[in-house]
A and B are shown apart, each in its own frame.
Chain A
């Protein structure tokens, strides 16, 4: 009996000779336990070594293998062939990012945005080492823990239509990261993360909510953004009504 197969339609773009992306069809073995990444690795190993794509851990923790699978941003290490079989699978690079080659996108903008929210503990006064560690209760940790789980896979940026239409938008992951530090009890740097409350920060977001739907680590960046809106608005009113108040 012939081995079952499944068809993958994969975007190809070779900047040295292509003007625009094209689609190349590969017929790969269908295995019950295979994910799309296994199929891509099979193509690379056995069929076409020129196919370029990013991957690493193959277990959903590194965030490298994000691609569009049948139009939905997914980690290809978490997209099982059996969920699509026997239909054909379309594999494309993450949308809203420029394509470097084949399935590899340019993430420079994303990296710049992550840095722009100052993702580190900012203190008004550093505690001397002799005074020991910063103590944090379980409740204080719980207030921001969920937002620490981001693996920078950029699926949320591919899902966000605002980012697709307005590339200046700070984006879900960067805002969630900023929120993570703002909510950390050890941090005192909220007023230095003013980029979050700027026009291209939270206020570009129209709460489509798709970022949280596609997030593989359940970070819920949409919640971080909407809660930041409440927070920033509250702070603004406080600064107007109580300008002498120290936070």
Chain B
């Protein structure tokens, strides 16, 4: 039996435009989620530089920390923090999809699984904050 089908030469191929992620809200939020890792990476580079300065003289470290007090750097760190929070929250949303949790036979709903993750995150953060304040004083 001979192959019957459309003439491949006459098929019209549409290319995905580079602006595909601007066409709907889900795609845009996805790209923000992916972009968050860039800001986290940039923060880590600054942090590593700060640690490196710490390994040198106290003057070097203090001079570096003074530079970070500028409005520009504070703004960058605020933006990086917001992206890091968004990154973590979307990670917990993804965890709820990957791991179906059950109580007995009943499946726990995804928003609740996400909330449980966020709750555990909050508890750990509070513990770390208490430890930090205790060690500081």
Chain A interface residues (CB < 8 Å from chain B): 13, 15-16, 20-21, 71-72, 95-96, 98-101, 106, 108, 161, 164-165, 206-210, 213, 220, 222-223, 226-227, 229-230
Q: Using CB atoms, name the residue of chain B closest to A15.
A: B10
The distance from the CB of B4 to the nearest CB of chain A, in whole angstroms, is 12
Q: Which of A71, A99, A108 is within 8 Å of B23, CB to CB?
A: A71
Q: Which of B12-20, B62-70, B72-80 participates in binding chain A?
A: B12-20
Q: Using CB atoms, name the residue of chain B closest to A212.
A: B97
Q: How far is the CA of A20 from the CA of B14 in the complex (A)?
A: 10
Chain B interface residues (CB < 8 Å from chain A): 5-7, 10-14, 16, 20-21, 23-24, 26-27, 30, 34, 94, 97-98
Q: Which of A13, A210, A226 is within 8 Å of B98, CB to CB?
A: A226
Q: How far is the CA of A106 from the CA of B30 in the complex (A)?
A: 28
Pair count A-B, CB < 8 A: 62
Check if A98 sits within 8 Å of B12, measured CB to CB.
Answer: yes
Q: How far is the CA of A210 from the CA of B7 in the complex (A)?
A: 31
- Residues of chain A contacted by B20 (CB below 8 angstroms): 161, 164-165
Given contact pairs A161-B27, A209-B26, A106 touches B16 in the complex (Cβ within 8 A): no
Q: A98-B12, A161-B16, A222-B97 are in contact. List 10 more A-B contacts (CB 8 A).
A: A15-B6, A15-B11, A98-B11, A98-B13, A165-B16, A165-B20, A206-B34, A207-B94, A210-B26, A226-B98
